[in-house]
Amino acid sequence: MCAACFRRNRYVLLMLAGLAAFACTPDPRAYTYPSKVQQELSRVCQLVALRHTNQFLVEEGKIYPILRSGNRLSHLEEEFTNLTDRAYLCGPVFDRNLPCAAGRKYKGNECH
């Protein structure tokens, strides 16, 4: 009679261990693919970096690299984009007026 109890307890323990292992598995990883705009911005930033700057202006599909002095260079020949017309910055932007140090995010009134 004791042997039958042991078998029943063993199955219960195996079932509990299986449920615990299933419940503790991490969520499957999700990958967020870059959008078309992010891909285009990355492509244009690589082109602008060849002109030794990290800023550019888009006007009517033409790409104008901008120097730190604010001077606009001639547009990139044979290169056009579908980004909206405005000025863009490439890479990390360091602003002295930001409330948090570089690499930290500002949420509400605190740096995280």
DSSP letters, 40-87, are: HHHHHHHHHHTTT-SEEEEETTEEEEE-TTSPBPPPPTT-B--S-SSE
Model confidence at 28, in pLDDT bands (50, 70, 90)? confident
Q: What pLDDT is recorded for position 95? A: 59
Q: What pLDDT is recorded for position 48? A: 92
What does each C-alpha distance from 64 to 69, 89, 106 come to in angstroms? 14, 12, 32
Model pLDDT for residues 48-59, shown as the tens digit of each residue: 999 989 899 999
The mean pLDDT value of the chain amounts to 80
User: Which has more pLDDT, 96 or 108?
Assistant: 108
Listed by start position, the domains of the chain span: 36-92
Q: What pLDDT is recorded for position 8? A: 66
Asked if the model's pLDDT at residue 3 lies above 60, the reply is: no
Average pLDDT over residues 60-84: 89
Q: Is 40 in contact with 46 (CB distance < 8 Å)? A: no
Instruction: Output 69-75 pairs: Cβ under 8 A, ≥24 positions apart.
Output: none
Query: What is residue 89's DSSP assignment?
Result: E
Residue whose structure tokens are 């992010």: 38
* Other Cβ atoms closer than 10 A to 48: 23
Model confidence at 7, in pLDDT bands (50, 70, 90)? low
In this prediction the pTM is: 0.57
Model confidence at 39, in pLDDT bands (50, 70, 90)? very high
Residue whose structure tokens are 């700057």: 53
